[in-house]
Amino acid sequence: MDRIVARDLVVFANHGVFPEEKTLGQKFLIDIDLGLDCQEAAIKEDLTKSVHYGDLAHGVKKVFTDKSHDLIESASEEVAQYILRTYPLVNEVRLRVKKPWAPVGLDLDTVYIEIKRKRHRALISLGSNMGDKKSNLDKAISLIEDDYTKIKKKSSYYETKAWGKEDQDDFLNAGVEISTFYTPHNLLAHLQGIENTMGRVRKEARGPRNIDIDIILIDDLVINTQRLSLPHPYMRERAFVLEPLKEIAPKYVDPISHKTIEQLLRDLNSN
């Protein structure tokens, strides 16, 4: 991945928790580091295939000064999201916001926060077997989209038998492909928030539910934490997951088995 870097952009803004910081303001220094593919721009000498760093600097300054935040973490997040939304060619943003002479009552030169935000591709599986199943899926899919997440593709709806606990109504299932700026754990929190908003009650494992939303894959990430496992540990055993995803992303490669979605489904159906 190529990089475009701008260092020590000087911006005067009113961020901080103290009243003086809000009213008097102070100087900040911003380092911007973009990850993207610049080769086409270089070959064709076409600036539209790259990022105009002059426009970038002016845009970052405007976003950074439009609002007053208590935390430079919040101001930095807004700048990173602005860059990813404004420049589709950019896959990754590294941002360092430096606060010289921070008011901590000590001899301190500079405090800074550094964040990295990426444009993630993710596959999501949805299911419902209570109430108006189609309406439940429609609503959940509409709620997935927000300032951080956009739906790129949506599968058809598939009626399937319950898996793992068969003495319940059939499910209606779907899959969506999204582009998101959320980190994996924050994407999980976003989707669980949708389940909570829609009134999902977790009474028993694999029991009936009005809505179920699972992250199946994010990029080629392999994650094993208490809260999140990627790829989804049961994806290779569930036709109701693989069938909708095959419709929208057949060539997506599982980083564990190194097989595509369509290959995984073929293997499952042949057993």
- Taking only the tens of pLDDT, the chain with its 271 residues reads 999 999 999 999 999 998 888 888 899 999 999 999 999 999 999 999 999 999 999 999 999 999 999 999 999 999 999 999 999 999 999 999 999 987 777 888 899 999 999 999 999 999 998 889 999 999 999 999 999 999 999 999 999 887 666 666 888 999 999 999 999 999 999 999 999 999 877 666 666 788 999 999 999 999 999 999 999 999 999 999 999 999 999 999 999 999 999 999 999 998 7
Q: What's phi and psi for 245, nearest 5 deg?
A: -70, -30
Paired tokens of 197: 């908003």
Strand 149-154, strand 158-160: pairing: unpaired
Paired tokens of 189: 């929190």
**Helix ranges (DSSP H) in the chain:** 19-23, 39-44, 53-66, 72-86, 133-144, 184-197, 239-248, 261-270
Q: Are the beta carbons of 173 and 157 closer than 8 angstroms?
A: yes
Q: Are the beta carbons of 93 and 46 closer than 8 angstroms?
A: no
Write down the pTM of the prediction.
Answer: 0.88
CATH 3.30.1130.10 region(s) of the chain?
2-118
Number of residues written out for the chain? 271
Residue 99 a catalytic site member: yes
**Catalytic-labelled residue, pool 61, 98, 99, 118:** 99
State the DSSP string of 64-109: HHHS--S-HHHHHHHHHHHHHHH-TT--EEEEEEEEET-SSSS---
Paired tokens of 98: 């430096």
Q: Domain 120-270 belongs to what topology?
A: Alpha-Beta Plaits (3.30.70)
Q: Which pLDDT belongs to residue 199?
A: 87
CATH 3.30.70.560 region(s) of the chain?
120-270
Q: Residue 184: helix, strand or coil by DSSP?
A: helix
CATH class of the structural domain 2-118:
alpha beta
